[in-house]
């Protein structure tokens, strides 16, 4: 397809694609609020085991499952003229199906705590890793169908809609968890998650993606891997960006323990975990509107700086919070940080490379960061067992500030670098 014809189709279908993908994001976030990995699932697991390492394993899966597979699929995705076949076809089995199976997995808690824990971790890993398998294709598809000048607003509005409806989902989850006994309360929450995430998949399937054949010749996976070190050597600014994100990811070691710490310290009800989800989503929704416009005007690097700073402040405040009420501020900051990472963590990578190289840069960025994000919660779990949750939060605060400093003063804004060669 000629480039002018491709651009014409993108412009022609932009409104349709923006609407259906916004609805996909909205219903996906709504469904996710019923099994939030930072609030609902840690408390669910705490009913079944008191092991901090198991909670750390859950956090590791949440942090890395989406990130790690991406470099392994980038070469395959780069050669596909249409990415939708992966996002919709493969994605249903790898990402959506395990959420449906969470319902019978929760029923296992009536029979065996060990089996219930194993089933939850297995299905959650299947869901998150499965999302990572299709993530490069999804990101590249959005980069194709959403013009550069509109990406910040698109992601901002999409994530705002998702987090705003997610607030309603979190309120509903709190009501369910307060009204019904364990584990039936969680079975109902997981059922609602499966319903809404399935609806999101239907809207995603309506995406109109024009074909675009890469001018680059296909290469074997071995040859593809051999070329990666040259990219890192030649792109100094991208290399520095990756290092800053590695440090910031290690600074996220405390997030998986914040809810459990608050619930255990003040003996809070399970419904309070869903209440924290509500607070987090409110912070995320508000930040999405701000960050979307800010990214289009000032660049994604500034948004990421603010996100890392918010994450560090969240765990720092958790370490000194004198009452449970303070944790609402902690989760507002957590939500704002999450909004920035989702929005600009995805979009900034597109600005380090040419369109034909997008899948490779997406894969490199997310997989390399994912390794650090995987180590972080395990390190946090070990540190929590040895010295307590508050020590984890203090260490995470210091490392987070280091990540902020590296990105702020060491990495240059990619929009200001002609040709993105540095």
What's the mean pLDDT in 219-242?
81
Most confident of 45-49, 139-143, 186-190, 357-361: 186-190
pLDDT at 138 over 80: yes
pLDDT of 274 higher than 80: no
| Higher per-residue pLDDT: 315 or 353 | 315
CA angle, corner 91, sides to 90 and 93, nearest 5?
Answer: 75
Higher pLDDT, 241 or 219: 241
**3 state SS of 181:** coil
Q: In this structure, what token pair is assigned to residue 152?
A: 């910040």
Position with higher pLDDT, 353 vs 316: 316
Pick from 245, 364, 252: which is nearest to 300 by CA?
245
Residue 419's pLDDT is 46
pLDDT at residue 2 is higher than 60: no
Answer yes or no: is 75 within a domain.
yes
Arithmetic mean of pLDDT over the chain: 84
195 phi, psi to nearest 5 deg: -65, -50
pLDDT at 407: 93
Residue position matching structure tokens 């590249």? 140
Indicate whether 126 pLDDT > 80: yes
Check: CB of residue 133 under 8 Å from CB of residue 115: no
Q: How confident is the model at residue 88 (pLDDT cuts 50, 70, 90)?
A: very high
Q: Which two tokens stand for residue 294?
A: 């800010």
Res 405 pLDDT > 90: yes
Write out the two tokens for 84. 């939708």
pLDDT over 80 at 261, yes or no? yes
Question: Distance (Å, rounded) from C-alpha 338 to C-alpha 284?
Answer: 7
In a domain, 422, yes or no: no
pTM for the whole structure? 0.71
Is the residue at 210 inside a domain? no
Q: Is residue 252 a contact partner of residue 402, using CB atoms and an 8 Å limit?
A: no
What is the DSSP annotation of 10-53? HHHHHHHHHHHHHHHHHHHHHHHGGG-TTTHHHHHHHTT---HH
Give residue-wise pLDDT tens across range 19-32.
Answer: 999 899 889 988 98
Whether residue 212 lies inside any domain: the answer is: no
- Number of neighbours of residue 148 by Cβ within 10 angstroms: 12
Q: What integer pLDDT is reported at residue 216 of this predicted model? A: 66
Q: Are 93 and 282 in contact (CB under 8 A)?
A: no
Distance CA 130, CA 185 (A): 26
Nearest to 113 by CA among 191, 183, 185, 39: 183
Tell me which residue has tokens 């059922």. 191
221 or 319: which carries more pLDDT confidence? Answer: 319
* pLDDT at residue 417, rounded to an integer: 65
Q: What is the dihedral angle through the alpha carbons of 378, 382, 388, 394, rounded to the nearest 10 degrees?
A: -60
With CA atoms as reference, report the closest residue to 24 among 155, 149, 162. 162
Residue range 75-98: mean pLDDT, rounded: 88
* Both structure tokens of 274: 């869903």
What CATH number does the domain containing 26 carry? 1.20.1250.20
pLDDT on residue 311: 93
Note the pLDDT tens digit of each residue in 64-83.
777 778 777 877 887 788 88
pLDDT in the model for residue 93:
94
Residue-range definition of the domain harbouring residue 112: 3-205+230-414
- Cα–Cα distance for residue pair 230/91, rounded to 1 Å: 31
User: Of the ranges 79-83, 340-344, 398-402, 417-421, which one carries the lowest mean pLDDT score?
Assistant: 417-421
Residue 143 tokens read as: 């980069």
- Residue pLDDT, tens place only, 28-57: 988 988 888 777 888 888 888 887 778 778
Write out the two tokens for 117: 């824990």
Q: What is the CA radius of gyration of the chain?
A: 21
Given a cut of 70, whether residue 177 has pLDDT beyond it is yes
pLDDT at residue 248, as a whole number: 92
pLDDT higher than threshold 60 for residue 151: yes
| pLDDT at 121 (0 to 100) | 92
* Structure tokens, 69: 């597979």
How many domains, in total, are found in the chain?
1
CB 332 within 8 A of CB 373: no
The pLDDT score that the predictor gives to residue 51 is 78
Measured CA to CA, the distance from residue 236 to residue 241 in angstroms comes to 9
**Is it the case that residue 421 has pLDDT exceeding 60?**
no
Q: What is the mean pLDDT of residues 275-304?
A: 82
| 53 in Cβ contact with 382 (< 8 Å) | yes
Paired tokens of 386:
């040895």
222 belongs to a structural domain: no
Tell me the range of 178-182, 197-201, 273-277, 415-419 where mean pLDDT is highest: 197-201
Question: What is the average per-residue pLDDT within 369-398?
Answer: 86
- Reading phi first (left if > 0) and then psi (alpha if -120 to 50, else beta), residue 175 is in alpha
Q: Residue 214: inside a domain, yes or no?
A: no
In angstroms, the CA 56 to CA 374 distance is: 10
Q: Confidence class of residue 339 from pLDDT cuts 50, 70 and 90?
A: confident
180 with 48: CB under 8 angstroms? no
Look-up of token digits 């004198």: 322
Instruction: Give 3's pLDDT tier (boundaries 50, 70, 90).
Output: low
| Contact status, residue 205 vs residue 69, Cβ threshold 8 Å | no
Question: In whole angstroms, how far apart are CA 18 and each of 22, 46, 143, 299, 308?
Answer: 6, 40, 12, 21, 28
Q: Tell me the pLDDT band of 306, cut-offs 50, 70 and 90.
A: very high
Q: Cα(first)–Cα(last) distance of the chain, in Å?
A: 32
Where does the pLDDT of residue 420 fall: very low under 50, low under 70, confident under 90, or very high at 90 and above? Answer: very low
| 58 located within any domain | yes
Looking at per-residue pLDDT, the higher value among 418 and 373 belongs to 373
215 lies in a domain? no
Does residue 150 register a pLDDT over 90?
no
CB 368 within 8 A of CB 196: no
Round to whole Å and give the CA distance between 319 and 384. Answer: 12
């Amino acid at each position: 397809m000629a480039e002018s014809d491709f651009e014409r189709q993108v412009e022609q279908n932009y409104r349709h694609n923006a609407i259906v993908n916004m609805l996909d994001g909205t219903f996906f976030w709504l469904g996710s609020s019923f099994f939030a990995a930072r609030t609902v699932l840690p408390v669910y697991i705490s009913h079944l085991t008191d092991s901090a390492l198991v909670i750390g394993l859950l956090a590791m899966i949440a942090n890395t499952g989406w990130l790690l597979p991406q470099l392994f699929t980038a070469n395959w995705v780069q050669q596909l003229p249409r990415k939708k076949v992966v996002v919709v076809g493969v994605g249903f089995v790898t990402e959506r199906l395990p959420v449906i199976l969470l319902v019978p997995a929760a029923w296992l808690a009536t029979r065996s705590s060990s089996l219930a824990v194993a089933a939850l971790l297995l299905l959650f890993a299947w869901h998150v890793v499965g999302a990572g398998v299709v993530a490069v294709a999804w990101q590249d598809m959005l980069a194709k169908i959403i013009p550069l000048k509109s990406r910040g607003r698109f992601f901002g509005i999409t994530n705002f809609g998702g987090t705003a409806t997610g607030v309603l989902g979190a309120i509903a989850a709190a009501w369910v968890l307060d009204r019904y006994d364990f584990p039936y309360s969680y079975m109902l929450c997981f059922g609602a998650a499966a319903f809404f995430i399935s609806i999101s998949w239907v809207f995603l399937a309506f995406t109109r993606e024009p074909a675009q054949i890469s001018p680059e010749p296909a290469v074997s996976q071995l040859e593809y891997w051999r070329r990666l070190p040259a990219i890192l050597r030649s792109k100094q600014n991208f290399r520095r960006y990756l290092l800053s994100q590695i440090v910031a990811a290690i600074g996220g070691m405390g997030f998986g323990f914040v809810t459990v710490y608050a619930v255990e310290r003040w003996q809070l009800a399970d419904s309070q975990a869903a209440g924290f989800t509500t607070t987090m989503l409110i912070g995320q929704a508000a930040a999405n509107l701000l960050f979307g416009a800010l990214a289009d005007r000032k660049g994604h690097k500034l948004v990421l700086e603010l996100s890392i700073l918010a994450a560090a402040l969240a765990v720092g405040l958790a370490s000194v919070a004198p009452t449970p009420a303070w944790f609402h501020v902690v989760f507002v900051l957590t939500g704002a940080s999450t909004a920035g990472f989702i929005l600009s963590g995805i979009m900034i990578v597109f600005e380090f490379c040419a369109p034909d190289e997008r899948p490779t840069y997406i894969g490199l960025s997310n997989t390399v960061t994912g390794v650090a994000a995987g180590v972080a919660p395990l390190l946090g779990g070990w540190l929590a067992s040895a010295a307590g949750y508050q020590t984890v939060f203090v260490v995470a605060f210091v490392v987070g500030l280091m990540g902020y400093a590296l990105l702020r003063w060491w990495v240059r804004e990619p929009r200001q670098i002609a040709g993105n060669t540095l």
